[in-house]
């Protein structure tokens, strides 16, 4: 287990107009947002991907620290859940329990991955919280991802989280609402498309997220949002082109660009239904000049402000 992250960075002054995120982290109470890391690439290892995402949380924190504030921010760092022993399921449960605690404190969790195995832990935490507090409310998953992550496997991996989420919903007789944005035909086998269709999942391919087709995609996203009470939004950084996000476990040959993401995410954020937000697959081992960790920090910045 690594030492706690030290929030530090450039300081231009201590008055309001000079502040950066590292200067207010853990300072303003009550916090509105809580960062929590999930340092794991056990799921990626099991899924035969490129290892290194375990170092993602602190790489993202490092890039987030120096970003400037243009309005007040109450945010705290809730630490990091580590998967050091190969016991992924146990680590996922620990993260879920921490998320329940954060949500119970009326704070919005921002989870820093880590492999996309973080997704089942994030969903499970929100699912259990809603079941305990508002059992009639519904949850929708919006996943920015080149891959469905609906694999069937004997153990949990970074490729199984949304099938696990579907199974959790089925066990408790709850509807499964899943929308995946950025799906790549060349990144998913036919059985994954068949599984998505069988489960009633919605998806929009990467090639359908061009500027001319974006209004139609936005309409579909809005309709999805209208039919649920809460949203769990997860961003697998491999949804972006490898030119933008080289430091991921499975780089995208095509992917989407940041402008497309911003327009879609603006609609989602405006709904005020996001209960849990996470970033997955930031892999510093393969990053170039911190491009991917900078992108991850930028996405969180879009959510905060």
Q: Known binding site for Mn(2+): residues? A: 116, 145, 147, 149, 236, 238
The alpha helices in the chain, defined as continuous H runs, are 21-24, 42-46, 56-65, 88-104, 118-133, 161-171, 190-198, 214-226, 258-270, 291-304
Phi–psi pair at 34, nearest 5 degrees: -130, 120
As a whole number of angstroms, the distance between CA 298 and CA 277 comes to 14
Residue positions forming the annotated binding site: 116, 145, 147, 149, 236, 238
Rounded to whole angstroms, the Cα distance separating 145 from 126 reads 20
Please state whether the peptide bond connecting residue 305 to the residue before it is cis, i.e. omega within 30 degrees of 0. Answer: no
What CA–CA distance (Å, rounded) separates 295 from 305?
15
The Cα-based distances of 153 to 91, 167, 184, 294 in angstroms read 18, 13, 21, 33
Burial 33-69 (b: 16+ CB within 10 A, else e): bbbbbbbbbbbbbbbebbebbbbbbbbbbbbbbebeb
């Amino acid at each position: 287990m690594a030492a706690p992250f030290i929030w530090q960075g450039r300081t231009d002054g201590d008055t309001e107009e000079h502040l950066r995120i590292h200067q207010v982290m853990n300072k303003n109470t009550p916090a509105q947002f809580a960062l929590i890391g999930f340092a794991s690439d056990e799921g990626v290892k099991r899924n035969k991907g490129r290892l290194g995402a375990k170092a993602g949380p602190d790489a993202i924190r490092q890039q987030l620290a120096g970003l400037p504030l243009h309005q007040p921010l109450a945010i705290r760092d809730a630490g990091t859940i580590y998967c050091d022993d190969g016991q992924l399921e146990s680590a996922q449960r620990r993260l879920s329990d921490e998320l329940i605690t954060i949500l119970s404190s009326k704070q919005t969790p921002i989870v820093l991955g880590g492999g996309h195995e973080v997704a089942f832990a994030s969903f499970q935490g929100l699912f259990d919280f809603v079941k305990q507090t508002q059992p009639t409310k519904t949850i929708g998953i919006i996943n920015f991802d080149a891959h469905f992550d609906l694999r069937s496997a004997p153990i949990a991996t970074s490729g199984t989280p949304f099938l696990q989420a579907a199974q959790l919903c089925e066990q408790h007789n709850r509807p499964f609402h899943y929308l995946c944005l950025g799906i790549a035909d060349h990144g998913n086998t036919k059985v994954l498309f068949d599984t998505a269709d069988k489960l009633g999942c919605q998806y929009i391919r990467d090639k359908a997220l061009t500027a001319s087709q974006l209004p139609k995609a936005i309409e579909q996203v809005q309709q999805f949002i209208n039919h649920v009470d809460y949203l769990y939004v997860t961003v697998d950084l491999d949804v972006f082109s490898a030119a933008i996000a080289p430091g991921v476990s499975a780089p995208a040959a095509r992917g989407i660009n940041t402008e497309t993401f911003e327009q879609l995410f603006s609609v989602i954020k405006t709904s005020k239904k996001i209960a849990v937000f996470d970033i997955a697959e930031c892999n510093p081992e393969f990053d170039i000049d911190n491009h991917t960790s900078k992108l991850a920090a930028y996405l969180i910045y879009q959510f905060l402000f």
